[in-house]
Amino acid sequence: MTTVPHEIDTPEIMVDREILARNIARMAEGVAAKGLALRPHAKTHKIPEIAELQLAAGAVGLTVATIGEAELFADRGVTDLFIAYPLWVGPRQAERLRRLAGRARIAVGTDSAEAARAMGAALGEAAGTIEVLVEIDSGHHRSGVAPAQAVEVARAAADAGLRVAGVFTFPGHSYAPGMPTEAAAQEQRALGEAARLLADAGLEITRVSGGSTPSALLTEAGTTTEVRPGVYVFGDAQQLELGRCALEDIALTVAATVVSRHEGDSVVPRRIVLDAGSKVLGGDRPAWATGFGRLMDFPDARITGLSEHHATVVFPEDAHLPALGERVRVIPNHVCVAVNLVDEVAVVTGGRVVDRWRVAARGMNR
């Protein structure tokens, strides 16, 4: 059991270097064995040191969510970036994309003929330097078009001077109990249908991109050419409760201190309060989750309430309640939003802090 190193003040995010390395290697090997390319989503970590480890393990490039994240990682020398987002590109975004395309291979998403035409017009002569992937809705019903509409969007993009490189989807509905296998199958079908329709229409594509952390290793090569998992580097309570990772795969925890402790009675619950709230754990709580995160060393405890600086943790009647001042490790529900709340993370190995990494792309929402 890794305890919280003495030099840590709570709350602080800790990354276990060995588990991180193992997670990166395992996904890289699993994806390579399937004959797929790995393009990890860097919005999970926003940390150049981790991107380097992913690229060294064989990733073909990175996925990012915003132009700002692309700029940050291009600054750090990453030369192949996919902004997997249906950007609305006006003059200021176009200028930034033009500059990016001057120093890296840049692909972006689009999910409508109108957005593709606006992007082409804003980019002007630079349109041909940007690759476009049409976003397909494979069942998540967020952004993306039905496969049957992919040709219309792709044609508009091509007519606007953009280079249509392929299609992509995000199977966000894989983040629910029992869903990873079904969502992965829907993803494969939707991407396959869109790719076939584009080929039938004479649009040659080379990139068919899918794969969340729950579905990445359920993806088979064939139509799909690459996967974009993000969370796998750290794991989190969502992946744990979905059965997509084990406790020993959790590389990121939040060190927290017991600041309040109540044995409970007929009126108030038996509980402790930790100094890690939503401003370090993030507030995400899907309806199927058992709480607002999990405690690493207390599997039966449940975080029943989360305020900005308090986590209320309820214990079963017969379980040991940690002492006041005791330091524990909390597994956030959704690691991508937790990392985005801090300026740096403590890198831990053998019970000691061996480094600190800056969350260099923190807050880059634009």
Interacting residues toward a second copy by CB under 8 A:
9-12, 43, 65-66, 85-88, 90, 92-93, 111-112, 114-115, 118, 137, 141-144, 146, 172, 257-261, 267-269, 271, 273, 275-280, 282-285, 305, 307-310, 312, 324-325, 334, 336-337, 340-343, 363, 365-366
Give the nearer residue to a second copy in terms of CB position, either 37 or 339: 339
Give the nearer residue to a second copy in terms of CB position, either 222 or 283: 283
Rounded distance between C-alpha atoms, residue 245 and residue 235, angstroms: 7
Give the nearer residue to a second copy in terms of CB position, either 52 or 344: 344
Give the nearer residue to a second copy in terms of CB position, either 308 or 318: 308
Sequence-distant (≥ 6) Cβ neighbours of residue 265 within 8 angstroms: none
Please tell me whether residue 189 adopts helix, strand or coil conformation. Answer: helix
As beta bridge partners, residue 254 has 13, 330
User: Residue 196 Cβ, how far from a second copy at the closest point, in Å?
Assistant: 20
Rounded distance between C-alpha atoms, residue 91 and residue 149, angstroms: 27
Using a 10 angstrom Cβ sphere, with 0-12 exposed, 13-18 middle and 19 or more buried, the burial of residue 316 is exposed
Rounded distance between C-alpha atoms, residue 271 and residue 260, angstroms: 8
Give the nearer residue to a second copy in terms of CB position, either 129 or 143: 143
Give the nearer residue to a second copy in terms of CB position, either 343 or 355: 343
Rounded distance between C-alpha atoms, residue 188 and residue 48, angstroms: 31
Give the nearer residue to a second copy in terms of CB position, either 55 or 145: 145
User: Residue 111 Cβ, how far from a second copy at the closest point, in Å?
Assistant: 5
User: Residue 44 Cβ, how far from a second copy at the closest point, in Å?
Assistant: 9
User: Residue 170 Cβ, how far from a second copy at the closest point, in Å?
Assistant: 9
Rounded distance between C-alpha atoms, residue 4 and residue 256, angstroms: 9
User: Residue 35 Cβ, how far from a second copy at the closest point, in Å?
Assistant: 29
Give the nearer residue to a second copy in terms of CB position, either 148 or 199: 148
Rounded distance between C-alpha atoms, residue 53 and residue 233, angstroms: 10
For the chain, helix (H) and strand (E) counts, in that order, are 10, 17
User: Residue 153 Cβ, how far from a second copy at the closest point, in Å?
Assistant: 11
Give the nearer residue to a second copy in terms of CB position, either 57 or 360: 360
Sequence-distant (≥ 6) Cβ neighbours of residue 206 within 8 angstroms: 165, 166, 225
Please tell me whether residue 94 adopts helix, strand or coil conformation. Answer: helix
User: Residue 365 Cβ, how far from a second copy at the closest point, in Å?
Assistant: 5
User: Residue 296 Cβ, how far from a second copy at the closest point, in Å?
Assistant: 19
Q: How far is CA 244 from CA 209, 235, 247, 279, 358, in A?
A: 21, 9, 10, 26, 28
Phi-psi group of 12: left, alpha or beta (phi > 0 → left; psi -120 to 50 → alpha; rest → beta): beta
CA nearest 61: which of 86, 81, 84, 33? 81
Give the nearer residue to a second copy in terms of CB position, either 93 or 225: 93
User: Residue 110 Cβ, how far from a second copy at the closest point, in Å?
Assistant: 9
User: Residue 75 Cβ, how far from a second copy at the closest point, in Å?
Assistant: 17
Rounded distance between C-alpha atoms, residue 59 and residue 181, angstroms: 24
